[in-house]
Amino acid sequence: MNPGYRLHYAPDNASLIIRLALETLGMPYETALVDRAQQAQRGAGYLRLNPNGLIPVLETSDGAIFETGAILLWLADRHGRGAPPPSDPDRAAYLKWLFFLSNTLHADMRITFYPQLYIGSGDTARTTLRETVQGRLQTHLEILDDMAAYRPGWLCPDAPSGLCWYLACLLRWMALYPDDGDRRWFELGRWPRLHSLLAGLETHPATRAAQDAEGLGPTPFTAPTLARPPEGSAT
């Protein structure tokens, strides 16, 4: 039965993670552009779906779901793919790393993008905060690269889990943003296992679908460039 999914998205935003997961599952869905250039995510209609005004939202037969990690887990459990099922011994490990991405890595990354939301308006204070958090991000990526050495089944680019796509997109954005900052702190080659994962994901059909839909360029994970979407704005 067609589940009637509707993904509220903006190009190269966190909705990209959900698009990749839906494409991997092979589930039919439609998209609704959230025009960030017009602050559509702050409009009354969107806030009824997600009162936090953040992207994405996935409309489902169970209602509207927001929070990227929650959507990924709901999709996997609904369709029996994309994460170890509750009875699988790998379920606990998958959950702890999924929530590490959501609660720690993604949260710290957001600080580097929007330091003004966390500290006063002084340029020196913002720079200090950003540099401090970039050091934390490097540590997080070292931890993840070490974890990847154990080759858990849910970190396989041939049959990617939702966690794979979440991590790939976070790494993409760390390489690109803030685009007015010093990017030398992020060198993907420092984390060879993560680099290998991203290289494998770039050849997946889901990536090709997302490239076309959101203008991601030929190497969206290993050597990303700013998106040139056919509609909407990434920022």
Helix/strand/coil for 124: helix
Tell me if 138 is assigned to some domain. yes
Question: What percentage of the chain's residues is helix, strand, coil (to nearest 5)?
Answer: 55, 10, 35
Q: Which residue has the tokens 């690109």?
A: 176
Contact 235, 228 (CB under 8 A): no
Tell me if 230 is assigned to some domain. no
Tell me if 34 is assigned to some domain. no
Tell me if 38 is assigned to some domain. no
Tell me if 215 is assigned to some domain. no
Give the pLDDT confidence score for residue 86 in this predicted structure. Answer: 95
The CA distances from residue 133 to 107, 118, 143, 167, 171, in Å, are 10, 12, 15, 18, 15
Quote the pTM value.
0.95
**Beta-strand pair 29-33/63-66:** unpaired
Mean pLDDT over 43-51 rounds to 96
Give the pLDDT confidence score for residue 115 in this predicted structure. Answer: 87
Structural domain boundaries enclosing 105:
91-203
Tell me if 197 is assigned to some domain. yes
- Residue 177 tokens read as 């943003």
Mean pLDDT over 66-70 rounds to 98
Domain count along the chain: 1
Give the pLDDT confidence score for residue 1 in this predicted structure. Answer: 42
Mean pLDDT over 98-120 rounds to 92
Tell me if 57 is assigned to some domain. no
Give the pLDDT confidence score for residue 3 in this predicted structure. Answer: 56
Q: What is the CATH number of the domain that holds 197?
A: 1.20.1050.10
Tell me if 23 is assigned to some domain. no
